[in-house]
Structure 1
Amino acid sequence: MSFNQNLSHFLSQSDAVGQTLFGLLLLMSVTSWYFIAVKAWHGLQARRNSKHFLNQFWNAASLDEVAHSLHQHRDDEPFSHLAYHAISASRHHAKHGKQRLQEAGSASEFLTRAMRRVIDEETAKLEWGLTVLASIASTAPFVGLFGTVWGVYHALIGIGESGQGSLEQIAGPVGEALIMTGLGLAVAIPAVLAYNDCVRSNRVLLAQLDAFAHDLFAFLTTGSAIESGAAPANPAQKLTLVSVGAE
């Protein structure tokens, strides 16, 4: 008997509890694959756009040139989002000074708060869906195991009522009940792998974003790059602050 036949026979013999658990596992699987596909697509797009922006940034003649291009593409990926708000914060503080509580402190302190706020926002975006993947990865095996236990119990009750306790009568229903354990593992394993991959990718991206934030902060406050920055070592790093304090 094939897997599909076993599964169909198991569902036809199951009660409402077993069918509900099967539906729950199916929902978990669809949900996890949705998040896997969406996060993979967003990650691919973000890496592509980030590479393009960083190449454009380091080859720009001035921050004014960067700021002009950011008006149209400021939310495409984390690096352009950070650069746009950092430049805007620097210019805002230079023009308006300390008129409100959120602008208190020196220009560098105001810029640091603005950049940290953007990094926190990007971190929250990157972590979207990870809680769901982690929950599915940790609970799906137990849902499948509970389905197996319930299926075995249900099968044994049926065998007891029929009065037939031969090995052939027990092996079939019990074997079919074990399908639920296999389904639970089939749901959990992709979710675990996707979660671990997303966590690693997010950690790498946030480290790169933090390094870029240090270089950008140095440009906006001193007008030159820091020697130990993570930016590529090429002449385009000699980016000058042209009218950064102007609107």
Structure 2
Amino acid sequence: MFLLVALALSSIATWYLIVTKTIANWRMRRHAKSFLAAFWEAPNLDVVAERLNDGMPRDPFSHLAHHGFRAIAQHGSKTGQRMIEAGSQEEFLTRSLRRAIEQDTARLESGLTVLASVGSSAPFIGLFGTVWGVYHALVGIGMSGQSTLDKVAGPVGEALIMTALGLAVAIPAVLAYNFFTRSNRIVLSELDSFAHDLFAFMSTGTRMAEPAAEGKVTPISKRSA
């Protein structure tokens, strides 16, 4: 019974992660597509900054740009008394973009450990349940003294169901893990490419003299006001 409950909980956790991460990835890709289209169509970074001020980042690409703008603003108002402010603007921007990518990587990979654990352990849990069930079935048959095929087939067949249940739990977990891992790899590859472009745009002539408020981006054009 304990093994059956463990498999049931594993199955519930697997399908919960499959549904929630599928919805989250769909929303993330939709927001990312919208942001990237607006980013590349924008005439300058001021327009991008204004767009980011309209709402919090809802995808890795807008989150990366948000961190980039804030890094430039914070470096422009640095006091030189904190270790985080050490280095040139390019170095400060690089560290900020790297931290943003690491945060997005951790966010994308959340739940994958559970899927991997379920996919690797569920077959063995099912197999152990089968062995345990067959053992008790054979002990019961031996004590009853009835070893005919019709007496053996029922208990042993019920025990073998645990192996099937273990596979039924493990297969969706393994497939989902592979799918989300590949999807995350594609997103992170695109994010890394976008980070290089964003760094080039922000480090070649883009300056923001006014410090930005916490969580808010200051448009570049306001530096001359």
Q: Shared topology, TM-score over 0.5?
A: yes
Q: Percent identity?
A: 57
Match of 2:154 in 1: 172
The 1-side partners of 2:113 and 2:132 are apart by 28
Shift of 1:98: 3.0
Residues 25 and 143 of structure 1 are in contact (CA less than 8 Å); yes or no, is this contact kept in structure 2? yes
Equivalent residue number for residue 16 of structure 1: none
| SS of 2:146 mapped into structure 1 | coil
CA distance in 2, matches of 1:37, 1:75: 22
Residue 81 (structure 1) aligned with residue 63 (structure 2)? yes
Write out the 4+ residue segments of structure 1 that deviate beyond 3 Å after TM superposition.
Answer: 241-247
Among 114, 125, 135, the residue aligned to 1:132: 114
Q: 1:69 aligns with which of 51, 56, 71?
A: 51
Q: Distance in 1 between matches of 2:96 and 2:136?
A: 60
Aligned equivalent of 1:27, options 9, 25, 29: 9
Higher alpha-carbon deviation: 65-74 or 168-177? 65-74
One-letter amino acid of the structure 1 residue matched with residue 167 of structure 2: L
Is the 1:98–1:104 Cα contact (8 Å) retained in structure 2? Answer: yes
Q: CA deviation at 1:91?
A: 2.0
Q: Does 1:199 align with 2:200?
A: no
Q: Which runs of 5+ in 2 are unaligned?
A: 207-218
> Structure 1, unaligned stretches of length 5 or more?
1-18, 225-240
How much does 1:100 deviate? 1.8
* Alignment CA distance shift 1:100-1:167 (3 Å): same
Distance 1:63 1:102 in 2: 25
1:95 paired with 2:53, answer no
Q: Higher mean Cα deviation, 138-147 or 215-224?
A: 215-224
**Structure 2 CA distance for aligned equivalents of residues 246 and 198 of structure 1:** 46
**TM-aligned CA deviation for residue 71 of structure 1:** 2.1
The 1-side partners of 2:224 and 2:12 are apart by: 51
CA contact (8 A) 1:91 1:246 kept: no
- 1:146-205 CA-partner distances (Å, limit 9, x unpaired): 010111011111111111011111111111110000000000000000000011000000
CA root-mean-square deviation: 1.7
TM-score under structure 1 length normalisation = 0.82
Measured in 2, the distance between the counterparts of 1:99 and 1:245 equals: 24
Structure 2 counterparts to residues 102-141 of structure 1, below 5 A: 102-141=84-123
Name the CA distance, whole Å, in 2 between partners of 1:188 and 1:246.
Answer: 60
* 1:143 matched to 2:125: yes
| Inter-CA distance 108–93: structure 2 relative to 1 (3 Å threshold) | same
Structure 1 Cα separation of the partners of residues 128 and 10 of structure 2: 15
